[in-house]
A and B are shown apart, each in its own frame.
Chain A
Amino acid sequence: MARREMQLDPYPLQTAADDHIYFSKEASSGGRGFAGGGCGCN
């Protein structure tokens, strides 16, 4: 339960990159437990 792979967001840069891709191609945004951090990808 305590290893990196069992933590909620063990690879924040990877999560951010994924979110960035989906945010720029889809209408839904966010949903995960952290707040903020926008870019203007339109």
Chain B
Amino acid sequence: MAARAAESPNNLEHSGTDFLFSFHAMATPCEVRLETDDADLAKAAGHAVEWEARRIEQKFSRYKSDSVVGLINAAGGREMAVDAETAHLLNFAAKCFQVSNGLFDITSGVLRRIWRFDGSDNVPANAQIRSLCQLIGWQKVTWKPPAIRLPPGMEIDLGGLAKEYAVDKALAAICEITSLPALVNFGGDLRVSGPRAHGKRWKVAIESVDASGHAAGLLELVDGALATSGDSRRFLLKDGVRYGHILNPRTGRPIEHAPRSVTVAAATCVEAGMIATLAVLQGKGAEAFLKREGARAWCIR
């Protein structure tokens, strides 16, 4: 999938026996594949997906001061009442915090102030890391739905959820329009509506972690979702040590010995994404974690 310019318009083209609708959103190339020869239908489905993706992006973007997340983060210690959709996402994040024993923590976003994963060797100093760790910890947040209160200086970041959630919502949007075989792919987090015609499978290539552009593997899906967690694009390299961009909220540092890429298959993209994230957070124990959990996954080290 070639990267496209940030504001390029959407594009509809034939691809094999499908129509492929592509656009750019959430800093990612997005595509919708519909097995049909009906261009109008493909366009309608594509627009529905694009609309949903942009809606979610704008609602939960941490970069926009007037998004829900922006407003929560700017509340300065005051309580904020949130809408139903946000409440459901916060509930989900809270449960994931519990189930991961604190490894998955949406308050860890503040670490981006000191960690910039641009391939350079700017690893932050220990003192910087220590002071920021005071501002991390979901257990410090008061979440009594529908009201959330962050202690001053703390922030939430739904970036670890939003893309996968958007895939699931986008697919649901397509299913309202048509029951034809559809695949929604937002930068590698994807989901299919079901098998292709005649029970045939969707073919998905796993991107290699090196720059070769070759596929590391070929998967075939008949149903469900795939999500990939990995560092192939965002990392730091210092003294020969590669720091992946997934940070341990407890230590404020990148997870050590994390696999370069974890691809997980599950029923929904949200579930797949969370398993992949949790796997990476296990660092060295990623494969063991996935095996213990009986997850369908592919690790690349």
Write the chain A residue with the least CB distance to B194: A2
Q: Which secondary structure characterizes the binding site on chain B?
A: loop
Cα(A4)–Cα(B194), bound, Å: 12
**Shortest Cβ distance from B144 into chain A, in angstroms?**
44
Report B197-240 CB contacts with A as 1/0, cut-off 8 Å: 11110000000000000000000001000000000000000000
Cα(A4)–Cα(B181), bound, Å: 15
Q: Residues of A with Cβ closer than 8 Å to B?
A: 1-4, 7
Cα(A1)–Cα(B181), bound, Å: 10
Write the chain A residue with the least CB distance to B196: A2
| In the complex, chain A residues whose CB is within 8 Å of the CB of B197 | 1-2
| In the complex, chain B residues whose CB is within 8 Å of the CB of A7 | 198-199
Write the chain B residue with the least CB distance to A4: B199
**B195 interface residue per 8 A CB criterion:** yes
| In the complex, chain B residues whose CB is within 8 Å of the CB of A4 | 199
Q: Which of A1, A3, A7 has the most CB of B within 10 A?
A: A1
| In the complex, chain A residues whose CB is within 8 Å of the CB of B181 | 2
Give 17 CB contacts A-B under 8 Å.
Answer: A1-B197, A1-B198, A2-B181, A2-B194, A2-B195, A2-B196, A2-B197, A2-B198, A2-B199, A2-B200, A2-B222, A3-B194, A3-B195, A3-B199, A4-B199, A7-B198, A7-B199
| In the complex, chain B residues whose CB is within 8 Å of the CB of A3 | 194-195, 199
Write the chain B residue with the least CB distance to A2: B195
Cα(A4)–Cα(B195), bound, Å: 11
| In the complex, chain B residues whose CB is within 8 Å of the CB of A2 | 181, 194-200, 222
Write the chain B residue with the least CB distance to A7: B199
Cα(A3)–Cα(B197), bound, Å: 9
